[in-house]
């Protein structure tokens, strides 16, 4: 028995070492299909070994019924399935139970979905797994496996009901989040929670715009990911809002999902002398200082830049959108306000220059009122004295 445990540990180590060294590319990572009852559909998954050594991958399939509110999927093995209301793995056939890929080889894996006549309408969820160990190997292989999600819709009466159950603003202290309405610095955390009550998954996407008390939208506050229909990352762009679920994750039926977004700073692209674009960051003080500089290209000689602590009211406008049945778009809005303190620069009088000007004016006044009359009086006295001496 001890030897078997020791052997299992050794095998687990090699499984971990093997998959950590393996370099695989799988596409697409998600399939969303609509199939009528008593019909079938075949799809292709491409698997590429981008490593210098060959690798053998084993395939398996499992249902999943929901994510927890952090986005982690919950997979259910066929033998552990308690209900077939949304099961899919029983009706999916995999072309290969295992594949061996040579270095740099790409292989197409076909799977077929056959929908029974009496299958439950709505959405059904399933995943195909690829792992460098047979399914009955050590548990470490399960942890390291890669998966592709398959979402099948059997058309019927689609019922949609949802709720935004939480929209909070937090500050992070000692690795814990504290709900607040006033902040002295960034980052600021926005937590939203979306609940899906009915029989179809939803793909909510929304954004949070930040509006200051002057009704100006804060610019370049975050970046947004651009995702292809096959769920592949394309690029990122700077936006004037905080995107939520720009990765287009689904919220499955009868589940709730939590999203936490962070506002750290302002993003700016700077064009360097060599023609390269780099991203630089500004805090809140620098942001409003640059806005003030844009309004005043230069200072008058009597002006100077001062700084003061400002408590600025910010309104976070949440705009939520999702797809209703027949791809109809639905929108929802909610707002929260908070106060943030920062050092703001502003243009005001140059006190040193004003004092200097006052001294100059005072000297001129003193010269005119005092020195000039005395000089005239002395000159008159000297002339009279000279006339008297010449007689």
The CATH number covering residue 265 comes to 2.70.50
> In the numeric block, which tokens belong to residue 242?
């905080």
Q: Are residues 84 and 170 in the same domain?
A: no
In a domain, 371, yes or no: no
Instruction: Compute the C-alpha angle 67/191/176, nearest 5°.
Output: 95
Q: Are residues 143 and 76 in the same domain?
A: yes
In a domain, 384, yes or no: no
Q: Are residues 198 and 110 in the same domain?
A: no
* Distance (Å) of CA 311 to CA 47, 168, 285: 55, 20, 12
Q: Are residues 34 and 109 in the same domain?
A: yes
* Distance (Å) of CA 58 to CA 94, 106, 128, 135: 11, 15, 10, 7
In a domain, 98, yes or no: yes
Calpha distance 267→240 (Å, rounded)? 10
Question: Residue 119 belongs to what domain range?
Answer: 2-154
For the stretch 297-345, pLDDT in tens is 566 777 777 778 888 898 999 887 766 656 667 777 888 899 988 777 7
In a domain, 304, yes or no: yes
- Within 10 angstroms of residue 274's Cβ, the number of other Cβ atoms is 5
Q: pTM for the full model?
A: 0.56
Final residue before a domain boundary, out of 90, 121, 154: 154
Calpha distance 102→244 (Å, rounded)? 40
Nearest CA to 233 out of 221, 242, 241, 224 is that of: 224
Q: What is the pLDDT of residue 290?
A: 67
- Which residues of the chain, if any, have pLDDT below 50? 1-21, 86, 137-143
Calpha distance 97→221 (Å, rounded)? 47
Q: Are residues 199 and 133 in the same domain?
A: no
Q: Are residues 147 and 236 in the same domain?
A: no
CATH number where 81 lies: 2.60.40.10
Calpha distance 164→180 (Å, rounded)? 20
Q: Are residues 107 and 26 in the same domain?
A: yes
Q: What is the pLDDT of residue 10?
A: 31
Q: Are residues 145 and 182 in the same domain?
A: no
Q: How many domains does the chain have?
A: 2
Q: What is the pLDDT of residue 15?
A: 35
Calpha distance 173→179 (Å, rounded)? 11
Q: What is the pLDDT of residue 19?
A: 38
Q: What is the pLDDT of residue 106?
A: 92
Going by their DSSP bridges, the two strands 40-49 and 106-114 should be labelled as antiparallel
Q: Are residues 168 and 256 in the same domain?
A: yes
Q: What is the pLDDT of residue 294?
A: 57
Q: What is the pLDDT of residue 71?
A: 59
Final residue before a domain boundary, out of 102, 131, 154: 154
Final residue before a domain boundary, out of 107, 124, 154: 154
Q: What is the pLDDT of residue 105?
A: 92
Q: Are residues 128 and 271 in the same domain?
A: no
> In the numeric block, which tokens belong to residue 180?
């607040």
In a domain, 375, yes or no: no
In a domain, 207, yes or no: yes
Calpha distance 188→182 (Å, rounded)? 10
In a domain, 272, yes or no: yes
- Within 10 angstroms of residue 68's Cβ, the number of other Cβ atoms is 12
Q: Are residues 207 and 137 in the same domain?
A: no
Euclidean distance between the first and final Cα of the chain, in Å? 143
Q: What is the pLDDT of residue 209?
A: 92
Q: What is the pLDDT of residue 30?
A: 83
Q: Are residues 244 and 281 in the same domain?
A: yes
In a domain, 186, yes or no: yes
* Distance (Å) of CA 96 to CA 19, 100, 109, 352: 19, 10, 7, 83
């Amino acid at each position: 028995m001890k030897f078997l445990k020791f052997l299992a540990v050794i095998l687990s180590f090699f499984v971990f070492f093997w998959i950590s060294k393996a370099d695989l590319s799988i596409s697409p990572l998600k399939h969303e299909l609509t199939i009528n009852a008593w019909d079938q559909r075949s799809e292709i998954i491409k698997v590429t070994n981008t490593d210098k050594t060959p690798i053998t991958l084993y395939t398996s399939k499992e249902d999943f019924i929901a994510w927890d509110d952090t986005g982690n999927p919950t997979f259910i093995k066929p033998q552990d399935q308690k209900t077939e209301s949304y099961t899919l793995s029983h009706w999916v056939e995999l072309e290969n139970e295992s594949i061996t890929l040579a270095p740099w080889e790409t292989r197409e894996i076909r799977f077929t979905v056959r929908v029974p006549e009496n299958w439950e309408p709505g959405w059904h969820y399933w995943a195909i797994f690829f792992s460098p160990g047979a399914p009955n190997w050590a548990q470490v292989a399960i942890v390291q496996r890669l998966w592709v999600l398959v979402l099948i819709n059997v058309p019927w009466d689609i019922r949609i009901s949802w709720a935004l159950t939480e929209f909070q603003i937090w500050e992070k202290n000692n690795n814990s989040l504290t709900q607040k309405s006033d902040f002295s610095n960034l980052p600021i955390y926005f937590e939203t929670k979306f609940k899906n009550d009915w029989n179809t998954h939803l793909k909510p996407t929304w954004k949070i715009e930040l509006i200051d008390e002057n009704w100006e939208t804060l610019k370049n506050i975050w970046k947004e990911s651009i995702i292809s229909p096959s769920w592949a990352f394309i690029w990122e762009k700077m936006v004037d809002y905080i995107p939520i679920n720009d990765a287009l994750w689904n919220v499955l039926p009868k589940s709730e999902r939590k999203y936490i977004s962070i506002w750290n700073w302002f993003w700016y692209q700077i064009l360097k002398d060599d023609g390269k674009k780099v991203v630089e960051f500004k805090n809140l003080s620098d942001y409003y200082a640059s806005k003030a500089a844009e309004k005043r290209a230069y200072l008058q000689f009597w002006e100077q830049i001062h700084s003061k602590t400002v408590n600025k009211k910010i309104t976070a406008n949440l705009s939520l959108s999702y797809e209703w049945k027949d791809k109809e778009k639905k929108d929802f809005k909610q707002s929260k306000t908070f106060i943030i303190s920062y050092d703001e620069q502003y243009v005001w009088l140059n006190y040193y220059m004003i004092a200097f000007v006052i001294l100059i004016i005072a000297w001129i006044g003193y010269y005119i009122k005092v020195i000039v009359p005395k000089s005239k009086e002395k000159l008159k006295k000297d002339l009279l004295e000279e006339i008297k001496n010449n007689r």
